[in-house]
Chains A and B, each alone.
Chain A
Amino acid sequence: AQSVAQPEDQVNVAEGNPLTVKCTYSVSGNPYLFWYVQYPNRGLQFLLKYITGDNLVKGSYGFEAEFNKSQTSFHLKKPSALVSDSALYFCAVVISGGSYIPTFGRGTSLIVHP
């Protein structure tokens, strides 16, 4: 079984400040972890993924995420937020060797204030 938790429904941050969107997971094997972003009235867009190797993964638009096995977390971060980063962010997990179907979190709404 696999599950993903995004504990915050909404994150508010001022433009120029660092941002963190949290994700924790629960799996019975080795996880593959993904972040997607959804802008209003659009489909999800892939941001980055962790498969293996370096725990710090860099992705699109200056985003990065750190895989922490001991804390079973994969938080999304950006050093300096932009107003245009305001969107809905989804974390997803797939189990290595298990079903190909990702389990998505409920999403976190990021609001960046000017």
Chain B
Amino acid sequence: NAGVMQNPRHLVRRRGQEARLRCSPMKGHSHVYWYRQLPEEGLKFMVYLQKENIIDESGMPKERFSAEFPKEGPSILRIQQVVRGDSAAYFCASSLAGGHMNEQFFGPGTRLTVL
């Protein structure tokens, strides 16, 4: 009964490179959320997706960041031309349904370091 899986757990990139973060939700979950966590800043919402659809991307920077959740395979958070300010822990969460009452199940996170 695997939980939410994220890989890689640690990712090091040089400025200007691309970062791809993967998230496999819990079995049976079709709702995925991405968050960014910076030290002492708490958890910031980025994007909410259902299969093949972006539901809410209000927390995502307009440039360089994109997300997808294809019909088959994991959800991908993609950061192009990374900068040092992108260094953070990125967490994916999934829920059984998208209602207000459903708790989210979090993955272990991907720690991105931009050199």
Contacts and interface: CB of A to CB of B under 8 A. Distances in A.
Which of the four size classes fits the interface of chain B? Answer: 20 to 34
A34 B103 contact: yes
Contact of A43 (B41, B48, B108): B108
A97 B42 contact: no
Nearest to A106: B42
B2 to A, nearest CB: 13
Contacts, number: 62
Consensus secondary structure, chain A interface: loop
A43 B4 CA distance: 9
Contacts of A94: 100-101
Contacts of A34: 103
B107 interface: yes
Contacts of B42: 90, 104-107
Interface stretch (A17-25, A45-53, A63-71, A78-86): A45-53
Contact of A90 (B41, B43, B105, B107): B43
